Amino acid sequence: MIIPVILFFVWMNVWLVWVRKQYADKADWITLEIKIPHTVERTPKVMEQVFGGLHAMHKPSINMKEKWWDGKHQLYASMEIAGIDGSIHFFIRTPREFKKLIESQIYAQYKDAEITEVNDYMSNLPADIPNETYDLFGMELMFTKDDAYPIRTYKFFEEPSTEKKYIDPLASLMEVLGELKPGEQVWLQYLIKPVGTEWQKKGQALINRLIGKKEASKESSNIVEDVFQFFYDLGGILFGRVPTGAPEQKREERQGPETMMQHLPPGMKDVVAALEESISKHGFEVVIRIVYLARREVFDRSNVGAVFGSFKQFSTYNLNGFKPNGKVIPAVNYVFKKTREYMRKRQLYIWARRREFKKTAAQEKMILNTEELATVYHIPSIVLEVPSLPRIAAKKTEPPPHLPVV
């Protein structure tokens, strides 16, 4: 009797995965390349506005028929930075239905940028990597703490006097990508899917625990306590055992302070303030994937460590940070070492080509708000001088209003 029930739930899960894959495959996926203007004097703050607008991709309600029969679910976009043979490119892989939304948000903040639809830069590579010609290594990142804890964002890199004096958070990453040799490639994928307010409610519950706020469940249990106390005190009054003013006096003694915020040390107060600011912004479910691919004669695994090192600057011990996901990184010990490493490399390569964003036991997803996303992915400013970062040399302008048309 138990086996059919178990098989039914297994079948439901398999069915849902299959119909969702069919729905995602029907979407017209395109690749957009962002060509960077020659002079960008704006900070990553404007990219935060872009991600705030991209949260409009969110589909708040999907009924049961759409979910279980049509496989309808929230689609996503992949914001990508690719270093190819020492040249740096910015791409966006997205369903065509989001193209106008993405273009309008980027053009609103970067008027001189150019967005063109191009072929997928991975399409020319063989599908069986690693092979005799190519080898690869990489990882996926995960948080060191709960999603509500923020990372070190671009605000920490700015000078207080003016926005023009700051260190670009992508400076070290651009240097690594710009020094790649011919035959080497590094792909950074930020798969973003807008989410609702569930993560913010969990973040608020975390804040309540840190400040010692009384939970709603405890408050509801006090109602039963008060009813019992009322009848107990009523009986005491009728039989002359309890003075009339005693209940109010006991209740005042029992209540105490609402929170323990005033007793927290200064460092913990800063953490609570950072948490409150973090959950006040729109959130995205994110997978960050790093893939290093190169011909075997020039393969240098240390490039992955250099790229991951650029993410360490966003980590703080009292808040949040990034670390490699041990279930994905192609490095294992002991049993069938070479075979297992090969299988993990194949899996990582397939996930990168397909921009896989699904529920698996290995893949860890994070919630980043718009400020955090703008920190790790934005159009570099003029303060970042990297020769291998191509920029638009000429500026496009509108034609004269009275230009004759033939």
246 and 318 inside one domain: no
**Stretch 180-184: mean pLDDT, rounded?**
91
Q: Is residue 2 part of a domain?
A: no
252 and 374 inside one domain: no
Per-residue pLDDT tens over the stretch 333-362? 888 888 999 999 999 999 999 998 876 667
Return the DSSP state at 181. P
Q: How far is the CA of 208 from the CAs of 106, 201, 258, 279, in angstroms?
A: 37, 11, 11, 13
Q: Above 90 in pLDDT, residue 292?
A: yes
Residue 154, token pair as written in the block: 């671009």
**Stretch 156-161: mean pLDDT, rounded?**
69
Q: Which of 24-28, 119-123, 179-183 has the lowest mean pLDDT?
A: 24-28
**Stretch 241-259: mean pLDDT, rounded?**
54
Q: Is residue 17 part of a domain?
A: no
Q: Is residue 15 part of a domain?
A: no
Q: Is residue 355 part of a domain?
A: yes
pLDDT at 308: 93
Using the Cα atoms of residue 11, residue 12, residue 14 and residue 19 in order, give the sign of their dihedral.
positive
Strand partners, 36: 391
Question: What is the model's pTM?
Answer: 0.81
What is the residue-averaged pLDDT of the chain?
Answer: 82
33 and 108 inside one domain: yes
Per-residue confidence at 98, pLDDT binned at 50, 70, 90?
very high
The half-sphere exposure of 169 on its side-chain side, counting CA atoms within 13 A, is 26
* Domain count for the chain: 2
Q: How far is the CA of 351 from the CAs of 12, 200, 220, 280, in angstroms?
A: 24, 29, 48, 32
Q: Which of 221-230, 279-288, 372-381 has the lowest mean pLDDT?
A: 221-230
Buried b (16+ CB within 10 A) or exposed e, 287-313: bbbbbbbbeeeebeeebbebbbebbeb
H, E, C per residue of 251-318? HHHHHCCCCCHHHCCHHHHHHHHHHHHHCCCCEEEEEEEEEEEEECCCCCCHHHHHHHHCCHHHCCCC
Q: What backbone phi and psi angles, to 5 degrees, belong to 339?
A: -65, -45
Q: Contact at 8 Å (CB) between 368 and 12?
A: no
**Stretch 222-232: mean pLDDT, rounded?**
63
pLDDT at 216: 45
Return the DSSP state at 166. B
Q: Is residue 24 part of a domain?
A: no
pLDDT at 220: 43
Which residues form the domain of 229? 211-271
Q: Is residue 152 part of a domain?
A: yes
93 and 197 inside one domain: yes
Per-residue pLDDT tens over the stretch 44-95? 888 999 999 999 998 877 778 888 888 787 889 999 999 998 888 999 999 9
Q: Is residue 182 part of a domain?
A: yes
pLDDT at 193: 93
pLDDT at 33: 93
Per-residue confidence at 38, pLDDT binned at 50, 70, 90?
low
260 and 288 inside one domain: no
Residue that is written with structure tokens 């060509």 in the block: 35
Per-residue confidence at 272, pLDDT binned at 50, 70, 90?
confident
Q: Contact at 8 Å (CB) between 320 and 150?
A: yes
Q: Is residue 402 part of a domain?
A: no
34 and 154 inside one domain: yes
- Cα 316 to Cα 286: distance, rounded to the nearest angstrom: 20
Boundary (domain end) residue, out of 271, 287, 314:
271
Q: Above 90 in pLDDT, residue 192?
A: yes
Q: Above 90 in pLDDT, residue 264?
A: no
